[in-house]
Amino acid sequence: MIMYSVDTIIMAGTNPLRPVKGKDCKALVEYKGRPIIDHVVQAHTWAHGVRHIYVVGPKDDLESALSWYTERGRVTVVQETDIKAGRFNEGKRLIDSAKRGLEKKFKDNDDPYVLFSACDIPKILFADLDLFLYRCHALVQKSDPKPDYIQSVVRLEDELLMFDGLTEQERPAPRFKEGAFRFGNIAYANATRCLEKTHLIDLAYSVRKGRDHPIKTATTMFGWWNTIRLSGVGASLFGRTSIEDVKARIAKKHDLFLDMIEVHPSVAADTDNDEDFDSLK
């Protein structure tokens, strides 16, 4: 398998609204004797399709946790912005972290494509990353128009196998004609194009995390009709919408060409809270 390598930006910022095991930076929580971020970075360093890794978060703490990788030149830690007084906005913080990572990345090379990864997916394997990257590159090469953003997705029933005792009530998922899918924690993006659409990143984060009026934000992204049909009740009454319908809606309304690729459930097995962490197999 011929690989096209890209840089990775791992989002490992602090979030005082969602502490895990008492830590605002969940990347530093220990899982099986090592910080979660160590597991994630190790998988990325082993992946043939990953060129260089930029980790955005609290620099001193992350450099200490990742010293083995930074000393060997595989990882660059980028300092996150300080948390300002007042209301903490998770979506805008995510955008700011992405911009910080991209600013450093574009100083090193101008390849527009990049892999975005979360910091809290300790079960991920390098093979999962390589297969996703290979399929993304193939999709970009054959598509017209080329996708600006390729989201990893996992079937809900497969993701639940990664946890002990969690149900779809704890891990809700939109329901398409093709099945119920959870958004994964890696995405392949044309960073130049996506930076022009940062408001959509904020909206997508709101939908995924269920914060700030999720119905309102979902309808902004997908439209009223698709949002109704993505819900369980709406699907029963009116039939389910398809992934293609949602992609077409986003392209028409937002001028952003989105695609989705199904991946191994380890990519969606994140630890957003203590319950997720304790239930992860």
Tens of pLDDT, residues 35-82:
999 999 999 999 999 999 999 999 999 999 999 999 999 999 999 987
Q: By mean pLDDT, which of 25-34, 89-98, 105-114, 174-183 is the weakest?
A: 89-98
Question: Residue 40 in contact with residue 34, Cβ under 8 Å?
Answer: no
Determine whether 214 is exposed, middle or buried from the number of CB atoms within 10 Å of its CB (0-12, 13-18, 19+).
middle
pLDDT tier at 228, thresholds 50, 70, 90: very low
Which token pair is 250?
């986003």
Residues contacting residue 87 through CB under 8 Å, at least 6 positions apart? none
| Cβ-contact 102, 191 below 8 angstroms | yes
Residue 231 has pLDDT above 60, yes or no: no
pLDDT of 220:
46
What would the two tokens of residue 260 be? 């989705």
Closest CA to 7 of 45, 58, 64: 45
**pLDDT at site 29:** 98
Cβ distance 253 to 199 under 8 Å? no
pLDDT band at residue 87 under the 50/70/90 scheme: low
Residue 202 has a pLDDT of 60
Is domain 6-279 given the CATH code 3.40.50.720 in the classification? no
Name the average pLDDT for the chain.
Answer: 83
> Which one, of 140, 98, 135, lies nearest residue 116 by Cα?
98
200 versus 20: the higher-pLDDT residue is 20
Give CA separation, 138 vs 4, 159, 198, in Å. Answer: 9, 25, 26
- In which band, very low, low, confident or very high, does the pLDDT at 211 lie, cut at 50, 70 and 90? very low
Q: What is the pLDDT of residues 249-278, one digit of tens each?
A: 778 777 888 899 999 999 999 999 999 999
* Residue of higher predicted confidence among 110 and 85: 110
Tell me, what's the pLDDT at 234? 45
| Domain definitions of the chain by residue range | 6-279
The predicted pLDDT at position 95 comes to 78
Highest mean pLDDT: which of 103-107, 205-209, 213-217, 226-230?
103-107
Give me the residue label for tokens 């200490």: 64
**Residue whose tokens read 């990664």:** 162
Residues 168-199: pLDDT tens digits? 877 877 778 888 888 889 999 998 887 787 66
Calculate the alpha carbon distances from 215 to 25, 38, 45, 174, 221 in Å: 28, 36, 38, 12, 10
pTM of the model: 0.85
CA distance 102 to 107: 8
pLDDT at 232: 52
Nearest residue to 260 via CA among 210, 201, 186: 186
**208 pLDDT band (50/70/90 cuts)?**
low
